[in-house]
Amino acid sequence: MIEVKDLVKSYGGHKAVRGISFTVESGKIYGFLGPNGAGKSTTMNIICGTLASTSGSVTINGHDIYAEPIEAKKCIGYLPEIPPLYTDMTPAEYLDFVGRAKGLRGAELAEQIEEVMELTDIANVRSRLIKNLSKGYKQRVGIAQAMLGDPEIIILDEPTVGLDPIQIIEIRELIRSLGKKHTVILSSHILTEISEVCDHVIIISHGKIVANDKLSDLEEKYTSDGVLELQLKCSAKEMETLAESLAKLAEDCETFVEKDGTCRIMLKYLRANDIRSAVYSQVCKSGITMLAMIPHEKTLEDIFLSLTSDDAVADETVDEKNDVADAASADEDTDSNKDDGDDYKPLFG
């Protein structure tokens, strides 16, 4: 449906996008994930034809965006990062303009405007000036604009930025419903959004794709190991003996003594091999009181952090696959960092 090949965009000396290639199949919701400045918006702008790439090609339904821009753009509805609204118009007038520009006329135009207004829930503000609308409504007018003309592909660049939590939930709901009829590409740096809404995730960092997979596959691929945390009520010495016996079960074992006198053991294990019951019986045997056993699984957040960390992309001369491998090995570092702190506060989401 969309085929992006070796896209490169440089601004003067700075390369914002360095050779991105991917394909988009119909009927799915794609998530474009990456930290700020990773090249998400640039890539989307190039796909939609609002920016020219330095090299590389974009083909939409067989139409090259440069050779046949009109045909290609007819297949796309685009909401840029800053909703492109004429603030001195009302939503009705604005949608009328966009609809006409997309080639709709007469009854069809009126019908579609009603339909998208209904879907985005802006019918009640149709005759107020856009400049007087709240950020949430402006965003919705932007989405309504992208939906007009019933394009096969809808591309939304950070559609939930600056909205309140209720609006965010509503917009996500809307995007999910869009996904039933259209192919949706959604960019965000908010992980929960991507994991809630998208089927497929493309992670971009420093202008390169570092992961491109189904959400479920991605989780499986990068969360093969987990960490089991044991909180114990015992002396340090007792803990050491216990840890020795437990180390045989796990891949890796670390011990900590807490300030309040309790002890903590972190066991790293492969998820394919569940060690919980074995650990439990070992602890029981030793006669130590176990206060808690907490399995820590890697979330999309950890995957994201490890893939987009500077270590992962530092080795830029290596090709993409190696980059991913590097990132996987860098996981361990982030993991141990995470374990050092008691309360792991998510950085994103």
Least separation in angstroms between CB 50 and another protein: 4
Least separation in angstroms between CB 66 and another protein: 10
According to DSSP, the β-strands at 76-79 and 153-157 are: parallel
For another protein, the closer of residues 99 and 226 by Cβ is 99
What backbone torsions phi and psi does residue 153 show, to the nearest 5 degrees?
Answer: -115, 135
Q: Tell me which residue of 327, 325, 337, 338 sits closest to 304, measured CA to CA.
A: 327
Q: Determine if 49 is a binding residue for another protein (CB under 8 A).
A: yes
> Which tokens in the block code for residue 219?
């989780």
Residue 299, CB half-sphere, CA atoms under 13 Å: how many?
15
CB–CB of 216/201 below 8 Å?
Answer: no
What backbone torsions phi and psi does residue 13 show, to the nearest 5 degrees?
Answer: -90, -15
The helix (H) or strand (E) run that includes residue 36 is none
Q: Is 130 exposed, middle or buried (0-12, 13-18, 19+ CB in 10 A)?
A: buried
Per CB under 8 A, which of residues 99..138 are in contact with another protein? 100-103
Q: How far apart are CA 4 and CA 1, in angstroms?
A: 10
Please select the residue that binds another protein; options are 89, 249, 290, 293, rule is CB under 8 A.
89
Please select the residue that binds another protein; options are 8, 51, 161, 278, rule is CB under 8 A.
51
Reduce the DSSP state of residue 226 to 3 states and report it: strand
Stretch that binds another protein, among 73-81, 240-248, 266-274, 286-294 (CB under 8 A): 73-81
Least separation in angstroms between CB 8 and another protein: 13
Q: Is 22 exposed, middle or buried (0-12, 13-18, 19+ CB in 10 A)?
A: middle
**Residue 213's beta-bridge partner residues?**
201
Q: Determine if 87 is a binding residue for another protein (CB under 8 A).
A: yes
Helix axes 300-308, 320-340, angle to 10 degrees: 120
Q: Is 347 exposed, middle or buried (0-12, 13-18, 19+ CB in 10 A)?
A: exposed
* Total chain residues near another protein (CB under 8 A): 30
Q: Determine if 85 is a binding residue for another protein (CB under 8 A).
A: yes
Q: What is residue 253's DSSP assignment?
A: E
Stretch that binds another protein, among 23-31, 79-87, 162-170, 330-338 (CB under 8 A): 79-87
CB–CB of 180/24 below 8 Å?
Answer: no
Stretch that binds another protein, among 68-76, 190-198, 216-224, 317-325 (CB under 8 A): 68-76
Q: Determine if 84 is a binding residue for another protein (CB under 8 A).
A: yes
What backbone torsions phi and psi does residue 233 show, to the nearest 5 degrees?
Answer: -110, 95
For another protein, the closer of residues 130 and 209 by Cβ is 130
Stretch that binds another protein, among 18-26, 74-82, 163-171, 177-185 (CB under 8 A): 74-82
Least separation in angstroms between CB 70 and another protein: 5
What is the pattern of x (binds another protein, CB under 8 A) and - over residues 135-174? ----------x-----------------------------
For another protein, the closer of residues 87 and 134 by Cβ is 87
Please select the residue that binds another protein; options are 64, 93, 170, 229, rule is CB under 8 A.
93
Least separation in angstroms between CB 140 and another protein: 15
Q: Determine if 276 is a binding residue for another protein (CB under 8 A).
A: no
Q: How far apart are CA 316 and CA 165, in angstroms?
A: 38
- Alpha-carbon radius of gyration of the chain: 25
For another protein, the closer of residues 22 and 97 by Cβ is 97
Q: Determine if 298 is a binding residue for another protein (CB under 8 A).
A: no
Residues that bind another protein (CB under 8 A): 11, 45, 48-52, 69-71, 73-74, 76, 78, 80, 82, 84-89, 93, 97-98, 100-103, 145
